[in-house]
Structures are given as C-alpha cells and as structure tokens.
C-alpha cells in the first residue's frame, strides 16, 4: 500500500544487523512483526535502541507511527506500558471495536483478523486509548496522541505468510499449536476471510493516513 501510493520507504532489518537511521528526513515510522519478545533485550540488544527511537518519534517529534504485532507491543513498552506472556492466539479470530475512533471509521465489528502471538499488552501506556479487544486479549488495538496507532493482529497478512510462519510449528501458541491440529484448516479459514481482512487493512491504513495528514494516493513522497 505504501509503494502503491507513490511513497518512498526505507526498510530496516534490525535482526540482520541493519543500524537504525536517524529520524531526520523521515516523515513516518512503521514497526512490524517479529518473533522476539519486547523484554528480550539481552538476546536482542537492538530492542533498547528501537524503543528509544519509538519514544523519540512518537513523544518528542509527534511523528506518525503505525505498529503491527510486535510493533504494537513495542509502542506500549516504549511509552511505559507493560507487555507479558498472555493467552496465545493463532489463526483467524475476531476482535471487537470500542468507541468511535477515526482510525476505525468504516471498519466492521466484530472484525475478522489473523492472529499470531503469545505475548500481549496487559497494561497500555498512560494516555493510550484502547480501540479493540478480544476474549483472549484486552488490548488488540490502541492509539496514543494524535498520530500513533498500533494493532496486535497482523494487518499485513497474506496467503504466503502462513508458509513462512508455520515452519517450524509455532511455539507458545494456543491449543491448535499444541495438540498437533493447529495446521488443519488454517489455510482454508484464511483463504475464506482474506478478502475481508485485506479490505479492512486497507481501510485502517487509509484512516491512519487521513488522521496523520499523509497522502495515500499518488503523487506523494514519504521517506
């Protein structure tokens, strides 16, 4: 969606040793999924620098921020919230929206989403607004300030994601993952829901762009 709108973007793969660039010259920050947990700073020292960059971007600079899955948890941790192991979720689930946030305008509730996590935000940072929850997770989506949005579910989900995520079998996930039946029906369920998931992802992205003043159609350049 970013490239289709004509924006320039820089991909930073911290787990592969790519250094964090300074924020000068960038207009927005996206933080996506990852297999590590926010508290594993000894194993992944770059997590400290990433949290510091998130604080600088969101708190000090007021930059637009979009966090997905790990990026949701990192926003909470960076701003003083708490993330711990919770009730795992894997597969196509539904979340319930709360209130009337502009970020969720025209997004259905209950909202089908693809979930793939074991940790969760158990205490959002001070000033955060909880936008969605599920029976297993009380903070499925939240906003902070005027331009920061994060979601626990995987907005970027596509059919190919499952092949990458399911080999090897996921750890610390729910019953589907621990009783050997976790793979059965998962691709079929995702295939059935994927068109709607993609429509909702596009709507949330458009809402985020609108809220943050980012052009979401060409021409436009976001570094």
Pairing of strands 128-134, 148-151: unpaired
What share of the chain has pLDDT > 90, as a percent?
61
Distance between CA 195 and CA 209 in Å, rounded? 21
Closest CA to 68 of 167, 161, 178: 161
Q: Is the four-CA dihedral 51, 15, 142, 200 of positive or negative sign?
A: positive
Higher pLDDT, 73 or 161: 73
Scanning the chain, the segments in alpha helix (DSSP H) are 46-55, 70-78, 159-165, 175-178, 186-212
Burial class from Cβ neighbours inside 10 Å (0-12, 13-18, 19+) for residue 131 reads: buried
The DSSP bridge pattern shows strands 29-31 and 65-68 to be parallel
Q: Are strands 148-151 and 65-68 parallel, antiparallel or unpaired?
A: parallel
Can you give the pLDDT at residue 171? 52
Indicate whether 78 pLDDT > 50.
yes
Between CA 97 and CA 190, with CA 124 as vertex, the angle to 5 degrees is: 45
Query: To which residue do tokens 């979720």 refer?
Result: 89
* Residue 168 predicted with pLDDT over 90: no
The domain limits of the chain are 14-212
Q: Which fold has domain 14-212?
A: Rossmann fold (3.40.50)
> What pTM does this model have?
0.86
Residue 220 pLDDT level (bands cut at 50, 70, 90): very low
Over 50: is that where the pLDDT of 7 sits?
A: yes
What pLDDT does residue 179 have?
47
């Amino acid at each position: 969606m970013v490239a289709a709108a004509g924006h320039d973007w820089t991909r930073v793969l911290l787990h592969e040793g790519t250094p964090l660039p300074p924020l000068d010259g960038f207009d927005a920050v996206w933080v996506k999924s990852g297999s590590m947990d926010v508290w594993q700073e000894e194993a992944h020292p770059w997590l400290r620098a990433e949290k510091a960059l998130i604080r600088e971007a969101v708190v000090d600079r007021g930059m637009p921020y979009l966090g997905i899955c790990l990026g949701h948890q990192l926003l909470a941790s960076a701003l003083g919230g708490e993330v711990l192991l919770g009730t795992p979720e894997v597969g196509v689930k539904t979340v319930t929206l709360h209130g009337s946030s502009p970020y969720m305008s025209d997004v259905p509730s209950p909202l089908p989403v693809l979930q793939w996590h074991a940790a969760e935000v158990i205490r959002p940072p001070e000033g955060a607004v909880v936008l969605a929850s599920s029976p297993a997770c009380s903070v499925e989506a939240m906003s902070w300030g005027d331009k920061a949005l994060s979601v626990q579910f995987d907005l970027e989900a596509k059919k190919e994601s499952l092949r990458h995520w399911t080999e090897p079998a996921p750890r610390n996930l729910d019953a589907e993952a621990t009783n050997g039946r976790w793979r059965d029906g998962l691709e079929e369920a995702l295939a059935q829901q994927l068109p709607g998931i993609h429509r909702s992802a596009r709507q949330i992205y458009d809402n985020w762009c609108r809220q943050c003043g980012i052009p979401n159609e060409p021409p436009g350049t976001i570094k």
